[in-house]
Structure 1
Amino acid sequence: MRDLYAPFYQPWRSAEWRARLRVNDPLSLDCKYLLYQFMSDAVARCPGEVAECGVYRGGTAFILASRLQEAQRTLHLFDTFAFVHIDLDIHDAILAATGFLYSRMPSGAIIVYDDHGFPSCPGARAAVDTFFADKPEIPIVLPTAQCVVWKR
């Protein structure tokens, strides 16, 4: 009866929700509950996959994945990347993907680009050359028409 006068509905305080949300993660129970509910609502109303950017130890990813398993959806997790394969063919898409991923890659990580050497995909080469023009890395063209970059 101590919570009789709680100012608003707090279902995450129930034993069921505490058990479901108790994972090794610094996020508060109310934040975890809201993420779960918002994602559940979106999955019920919209087609498509689900992504989490910034995974840390995977606490919220575990909660989201448990719900997505029931919905037969895929959870994509983005944090830092040791390896990236980019096969987009189009200049702007390659430039955007590289811009997003490059800053999330540690030193020693590898990016492989497809279509870099194909005459039918001039935008692929132009995007890579443009992006790395002011970076310390030098894209290495492979005989397979691919290109590889090791991040310094």
Structure 2
Amino acid sequence: MSLLNVARKLLKDNAPVTESTPDWKAERKFSHPERYTKNYAKYVATGGLVEPEGDAARFANGLDSHNGDMARFYSLCLVSDLVAKQKVPGHFAELGVWQGNTAEVLAAFARRQQRTLYLLDTFEGFPDADLDLNEKHLSGIFKDTSLEAVKNRVGEEGTVFIKGYFPETAAQLPDDGQYAIVHIDCDLYVPMIAALEYFYPRMAPGGFILMHDYGSLCWDGAEKAVDEFFADKPEGVMPLPDLCSTVVMRKNKKAYYR
């Protein structure tokens, strides 16, 4: 075999995975954390609060993009487990609720930990004021929701729904509020930077901010906001391997353990 043919064979056998090989995703199976599978009895016996099957159904219910995004689901589970284990104080909050898939999971976790969950959204889609010149084509997206529909889905026990334009609606959050988990999923630069400016100083030591869509290459504003905000902060962000490349920050100015 000539060197050229050898090279061609090596390139073929070791070709990078691309969209031209449509079956590559189907050929791979997602690994589920052992604490929620073979070690689940031990997990429950030591105080674990996640209910894998039921909580996964809440997360995926009615939304195809969530159905296979188990990395995102398990990230929420593991972060919730850690703040419970280490007794990190504070509420949970989500900015960017849409139809309530992640909100329903966060509400379940908050109730089991006897915390309050604050859900903030216009419940009417993107406000035009948040769309820059390169985003005007996004007007009208995510309008297929309503406050009442999300309330019916998530339930109101231990959950506060705040409808309107953020950061103006921040006035409806508790003045002395402290947060253990904040999930930011508002896609655009303006609300993302406003959320970080508001919630970052109110995070409990050891608390987590999860920022969705950072690395998806679909929402440039989200990436820009995160990069700008954390450029001068002592914490950095850690990428997660979920569908839309969430990044997570842990407030770590001082270690928090009990």
- What is the TM-score when the length of structure 2 is the normalising length? 0.30
- Structure 2 partner of 1:137: 235
1:88-134 Cα offsets, whole Å, 9 max, x none, are 00011100011001111121110001101111101111111110000
- Structure 2 partner of 1:45: none
Pairwise mapping of residues 43-58 of structure 1 onto structure 2 (< 5 A)? 51-54=172-175
Q: 1:150 aligns with which of 233, 244, 250?
A: 250
- Structure 1 partner of 2:221: 123
Q: Percent identity?
A: 38
* Higher Rg of the two aligned structures: 1
User: Is 2:192 the counterpart of 1:94?
Assistant: yes
Coordinate RMSD, CA, aligned: 1.7
CA distance in structure 2 between the aligned counterparts of 1:52 and 1:106, rounded to whole angstroms: 16
CA distance in structure 2 between the aligned counterparts of 1:111 and 1:52, rounded to whole angstroms: 17
Instruction: Give the gaps of 5 or more residues in structure 2.
Output: 1-162, 253-258
Q: 1:114 aligns with which of 190, 212, 227?
A: 212
Instruction: Give the gaps of 5 or more residues in structure 1.
Output: 1-47, 56-78
Aligned residues: 82
Q: 1:83 aligns with which of 181, 184, 187?
A: 181
CA distance in structure 2 between the aligned counterparts of 1:117 and 1:140, rounded to whole angstroms: 11
1:29-79 Cα offsets, whole Å, 9 max, x none, are xxxxxxxxxxxxxxxxxxx68924225xxxxxxxxxxxxxxxxxxxxxxx1
CA distance in structure 2 between the aligned counterparts of 1:95 and 1:112, rounded to whole angstroms: 13
Paired amino acid for 1:115: D
CA distance in structure 2 between the aligned counterparts of 1:140 and 1:133, rounded to whole angstroms: 14
Paired amino acid for 1:95: I
CA distance in structure 1 between the aligned counterparts of 2:173 and 2:211, rounded to whole angstroms: 24
Which runs of at least 4 in structure 1 moved beyond 4 Å after TM superposition?
Answer: none
**SS of the counterpart of 1:82?**
strand
CA distance in structure 1 between the aligned counterparts of 2:191 and 2:185, rounded to whole angstroms: 10
CA distance in structure 2 between the aligned counterparts of 1:87 and 1:137, rounded to whole angstroms: 20
